[in-house]
């Protein structure tokens, strides 16, 4: 499994510079609100994905007077020992893997898969298809090695076709992009469809285990067009309308993940609390799928479960976690708010980290 062995952070939000070894598979991090617990998890997620789950602008993650934000981790995974570095300096991000310059963020993500549950995780369900596509693509990235390249090719060809549409270029210039766009579209679609099918077999029992209210929930993948229609023919048929709109109406960029419960849209009948449980179930199912498909478990980051879940479902989750066999970092305001047998305990106060004997 992917496992953090050491973390070195400098210039991250309100955290005092830290250099700490991780010696356990279950780490509890406690501290008052504003002490830096979420920032610590954010740093780990940033190192993996290059994105903050709290901010769109990365400069807000960097301490105001710090010349740079540096994140470094030593990990072990299925391939052995790895060293990951992420540094932001003057609006530029520099990546390193095992002492060498890393060409892109995906190289770090491949080495350190991270799954995070936080108050923002509900966005998977509530913030529209973009967030659900991002959720699918996280899993597809690990499910099929060729997915990322196909996705990039699709995005490039789509951008060029849309540009030609907006510029009212002749039909022949728009049609030049149909063949590469179609080839990449089919690769993206088939990988996503295959992944969601595999995920559903794990998510269905996972949802029932997390909450009785989710016992009959299931996933439906929508491709972004009627798959009974040839996509190339559809682009040709819709060309005039696409010109008026200035963008391509149909294709994998319009895909979505539909969540059904009792043959209805799950979001229309689930409470806010039940939606959080559904989002968490999907994230845990993704983690289990990764373990089965790649013999690799992601690092699980669970931010303030006590605040997000009631005691019954919190207890269910805590009993479920050991079966996932993933290194898990949990945050809480107090040790007694999460009745879990953690292997080690860190405490944060005013951004300063101390290790506490259990």
For 211-268, the pLDDT digits (tens) are 999 998 999 999 999 999 999 999 999 999 999 999 999 999 999 999 998 888 888 8
As a whole number, the mean pLDDT across the chain is 93
Task: Give start and end residues of each alpha helix (H) in 211-263.
Answer: 231-237, 239-245
Predicted pLDDT at 358: 63
Residue 238 DSSP code: T
Residue 156: the pLDDT is: 98
Mean pLDDT of 11-26: 93
pLDDT greater than 80 at residue 317: yes
The predicted structure's pLDDT at residue 79: 93
Does residue 352 come out as left (phi exceeding 0), alpha (psi in the -120 to 50 range) or beta? beta
All structural domains of the chain, each given as residue ranges with its CATH number in brackets, are 1-113+296-358 (3.40.50.300), 124-295 (1.20.1050.90)
Instruction: Work out the angle at residue 174's Cα, subtended by the Cα atoms of residues 173 and 179, and round it to the nearest 5 degrees.
Output: 105
Using CA atoms, how far apart are residues 175 and 161, in angstroms rounded to an integer? 8
The per-residue b/e assignment along 180-189, b for 16 or more CB within 10 angstroms, e otherwise, is bbbebbebbb
Mapped onto helix, strand or coil, the DSSP state of residue 193 is: helix
Spatial contact of 152 and 168, defined as CB atoms under 8 Å apart? no
Confidence check: pLDDT of 334 > 90: no
Q: Is the CB of residue 83 less than 8 Å from the CB of residue 72?
A: yes
The stretch 6-34 carries a mean pLDDT of 93
Whether residue 357 has pLDDT greater than 80: no
Assign 355 a pLDDT band (cuts: 50, 70, 90): confident
Q: How far is CA 280 from CA 76, 273, 348, in A?
A: 25, 11, 25
Do residues 224 and 254 make contact, with C-beta atoms less than 8 angstroms apart? yes
- What's the Cα-to-Cα distance from 302 to each of 115, 135, 195, 283, rounded to whole Å? 8, 17, 24, 11
> What local confidence, expressed as pLDDT, does residue 193 receive?
97
């Amino acid at each position: 499994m992917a496992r953090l062995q050491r973390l070195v952070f400098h210039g991250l939000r309100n955290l005092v510079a830290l250099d700490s070894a991780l010696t356990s598979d279950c780490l509890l991090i406690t501290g008052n609100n504003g002490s830096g617990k979420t920032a610590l998890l954010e740093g780990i997620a940033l190192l993996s994905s290059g994105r903050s789950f709290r901010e769109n602008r990365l400069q807000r993650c960097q301490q105001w007077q710090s010349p740079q934000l540096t994140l470094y981790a030593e990990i072990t995974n299925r391939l052995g020992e790895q060293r990951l570095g992420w540094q932001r300096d003057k609006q530029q991000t520099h990546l390193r893997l095992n002492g060498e310059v890393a060409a892109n963020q995906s190289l770090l993500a491949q080495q350190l898969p991270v799954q995070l549950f936080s108050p923002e995780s509900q966005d998977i369900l509530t913030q529209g298809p973009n967030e659900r596509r991002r959720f699918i693509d996280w899993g597809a990235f690990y499910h099929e090695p060729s997915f990322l390249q196909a996705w990039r090719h699709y995005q490039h060809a789509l951008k060029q076709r849309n540009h030609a549409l907006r510029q009212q270029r002749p039909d022949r210039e728009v049609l030049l992009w149909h063949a590469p766009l179609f080839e990449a579209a089919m690769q993206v679609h088939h990988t996503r469809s295959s992944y969601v099918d595999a995920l559903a077999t794990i998510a269905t029992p996972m949802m029932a285990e997390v909450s009785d209210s989710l016992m009959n929930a299931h996933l439906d993948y929508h491709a972004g067009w009627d798959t009974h229609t040839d996509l190339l023919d559809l682009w040709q048929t819709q060309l005039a309308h696409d010109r008026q709109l200035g963008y391509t109406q149909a294709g994998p960029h319009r895909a979505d993940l539909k969540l059904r419960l009792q043959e209805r849209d799950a979001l229309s009948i689930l409470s806010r609390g039940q939606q959080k449980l559904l989002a968490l179930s999907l994230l845990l199912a993704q983690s289990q799928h990764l373990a089965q498909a790649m013999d690799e478990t992601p690092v699980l980051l669970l931010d303030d479960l006590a605040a997000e879940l009631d005691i019954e479902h919190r207890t269910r989750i805590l009993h479920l976690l050991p079966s996932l066999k993933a290194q898990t970092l949990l945050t809480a305001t107090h040790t007694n708010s999460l009745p879990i047998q953690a292997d080690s305990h860190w405490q944060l106060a005013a951004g300063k980290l101390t290790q506490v004997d259990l």
